[in-house]
Structure 1
Amino acid sequence: MQHSYLVIEGNIGAGKTSLVDLLVKKYQGREVLEGFAENPFLPKFYEDPKRYAFAVEMFFLSERYHQLNNELLQQSLFDQHTFSDYFLSKSLIFARANLDSDEFDLFFKMYEIMMKQLPQPDLLVYLHRDVNELQYNIQKRGRAYEADISDAYLQRIESSYFQFLKQQPLKMLLLDVNGIDFVSDYEKFDQICKIINQPFEQGIKKVKL
């Protein structure tokens, strides 16, 4: 693995954590996973998005920053590679989709301050799945507070991700994994590893498995 810090991003239910788990086992790297269940505002947000959007996004921003700051800036003598299922930019993407303009302006000021203090990934991989596959995965994992996520919300998050990716001066891979179960199909996972291990230039490279 030529990338020392690799981030897997994607919509809700895309398979980010599953892919990170597999990469960590294969390359014996350090795993940085998002503590998704710890936001006390999240269940309330799904019940009343307008009322709790700012609280849920500010909480996520703070928690993500503190976790990444602790994990990424801590020197490791044993792990040559770090794999994460999120980056701080995830907060910006969801905030853009969920907040009104005044709330987003305030949020963005805090985000910019925090973002400047974190290292950038060597490669950002975005896993793309169609909404019907996302919904299937969401229902399969059975988190109660995610049960009523709408197709429209998932489409809004995807649009926010695409808008973000187009604006970033990073090395990025948009990986279309529609219909692909890389957890049970090792050949597909091995194919993903070969793609990820290629050299990348700044910008977005699109690959469909």
Structure 2
Amino acid sequence: MIIKTAPVYEVPAAGFTGRNFLNTCILVHSHKNPLETITILQQIERDLGRVPRSGDTYEDRVIDLDILLFDDQIINTDSLQVPHPRMEKRSFVMQPLAAIAGKVYHPVLKKSIQEITDSLESLNNKVSFEIPLSRKRYPITDINFIAIEGNIGSGKTSLSHKIAEDFNGKQVLERFADNPFLPLFYKDTERYAFPLEMSFLADRYQQLSDDVAQQDLFSEFTVADYYVIKSLIFSKITLEKEEYSLYKRLFNMMYKELVKPDLYIYLYQTEDRLLQNIKKRGRDYEQNIEASYLSQIQQGYADFIRSQQDLKIKVIDVTDLDFVNNQEDYLKVLEQITSAI
């Protein structure tokens, strides 16, 4: 995922006589490790027609892709050196790098990229050449508030985290781990259902009122891994008829005061896949959840989505997608989100 791109500079060939070079830097978010990344870059070079050097001297090449920095890692192997050797001596490397990562520190020199760049001769021959940004293809930041919902174990927190990280969003996470009634509810559903649902409703209302209504100055939008409507869906399953009637009256009064999401995303997965995810993440109090309970939740969301007219809703089937570990799957999800914006 391309996060930032630097200006492009045209500079004379260095170390040999040849055509001018176009140099730039990009900031990329990837789930690949450094060796996997350099292997991919080398394959891209081959695909674009680069051939191995004929000797020990520099020569013209159609493309030259390097890893300059990889977080704060220091790597020194036969196939990869990070930070890139001699980068601190080259204006055509450091100046575009400073444009996108000036405050980042060189892990060996212990100086910021901007400090190193300031000590070098400045480049002036900037080229009018635009590299399309991923956020142009995926205009997530065009909307102010995205709510991501789904059944237990559907991946809503993971997706909201990735989107917030990749597009400079403010992430709002449900504080379920702090709810003292949750583990008790899974042990004795009938006894603890009402206090659980009431405590969740109060906490969700307060959090959405505080965190969503007040936009972070340093973030471009807000993405939450829940929306308050889940209170109504879960309570209809867990509460007795009389309790639910009272609960719904309170919910409707509070719901009127809350900011509505510009886009409501529902992540669908089959019950079998949900159970696999729940088992994999290993929360003790979730291990006795049955498929029938997940099916009830699924049906509750389906009923809500069919009846909803006030929200813009996008349902995404992620049953066969691993958007956490597979970048292609993640991009498929982003494509579907983009289609709804």
Whether 1:121 and 2:261 are equivalent positions in the alignment is yes
**2:148 touches 2:266 (CA, 8 Å); kept in 1?**
yes
Query: Following TM superposition, by how much is the alpha carbon of 1:77 offset from its aligned partner in structure 2, in angstroms?
Result: 2.1
Normalising by structure 2, we get a TM-score of 0.57
Q: Counterpart amino acid of 1:91?
A: S
- In proportion to residue count, which structure has more helix? 1
C-alpha separation in 2, matches of 1:16 and 1:91: 16
Query: Following TM superposition, by how much is the alpha carbon of 1:101 offset from its aligned partner in structure 2, in angstroms?
Result: 1.1
- What is the aligned counterpart of 1:39 among 179, 184, 188? 179
- What is the aligned counterpart of 1:167 among 288, 298, 307? 307
Query: Following TM superposition, by how much is the alpha carbon of 1:199 offset from its aligned partner in structure 2, in angstroms?
Result: 4.1
- What is the aligned counterpart of 2:334 among 190, 193, 206? 193
Q: Counterpart amino acid of 2:218?
A: F
Query: Following TM superposition, by how much is the alpha carbon of 1:4 offset from its aligned partner in structure 2, in angstroms?
Result: 1.7
Identity %: 43
SS in 2 for 1:111: helix
SS in 2 for 1:175: strand
1:51-99: CA deviation from partner (whole Å, max 9, x where unpaired): 1111110010011111111101213322221100001101111001111
Whether 1:97 and 2:237 are equivalent positions in the alignment is yes
Structure 2 residue aligned with 1:26: 166
C-alpha separation in 2, matches of 1:182 and 1:76: 27
Structure showing greater relative contact order (alpha-carbon pairs closer than 8 Å, 6 or more residues apart): 1
SS in 2 for 1:74: coil
Query: Following TM superposition, by how much is the alpha carbon of 1:105 offset from its aligned partner in structure 2, in angstroms?
Result: 0.7
Whether 1:176 and 2:317 are equivalent positions in the alignment is yes
C-alpha separation in 2, matches of 1:117 and 1:143: 33
1:146-191: CA deviation from partner (whole Å, max 9, x where unpaired): 1100111000111111111112221101111112100111111112
Structure 2 residue aligned with 1:6: 146
C-alpha separation in 2, matches of 1:100 and 1:80: 42
SS in 2 for 1:188: helix
Q: Counterpart amino acid of 1:164?
A: F
Greater Rg, structure 1 or structure 2? Answer: 2
1:23-77: CA deviation from partner (whole Å, max 9, x where unpaired): 0111010000001111111111111111111111001001111111110121332
Q: Name stretches of at least 5 consecutive residues in structure 2 with no aligned partner.
A: 1-139
**1:20 touches 1:84 (CA, 8 Å); kept in 2?**
yes
Q: Name stretches of at least 5 consecutive residues in structure 1 with no aligned partner.
A: 201-209
How many pairs were matched up?
Answer: 200
Q: Counterpart amino acid of 1:21?
A: H
Whether 1:73 and 2:213 are equivalent positions in the alignment is yes
C-alpha separation in 1, matches of 2:220 and 2:308: 25
Structure 1 residue aligned with 2:250: 110
Normalising by structure 1, we get a TM-score of 0.93
**1:72 touches 1:119 (CA, 8 Å); kept in 2?**
yes
Structure 2 residue aligned with 1:146: 286
C-alpha separation in 2, matches of 1:126 and 1:61: 20
C-alpha separation in 1, matches of 2:300 and 2:268: 13
- The runs of at least 4 consecutive aligned structure 1 residues that moved more than 4 Å come to none
1:89-123: CA deviation from partner (whole Å, max 9, x where unpaired): 01111001111110001101111111111111011
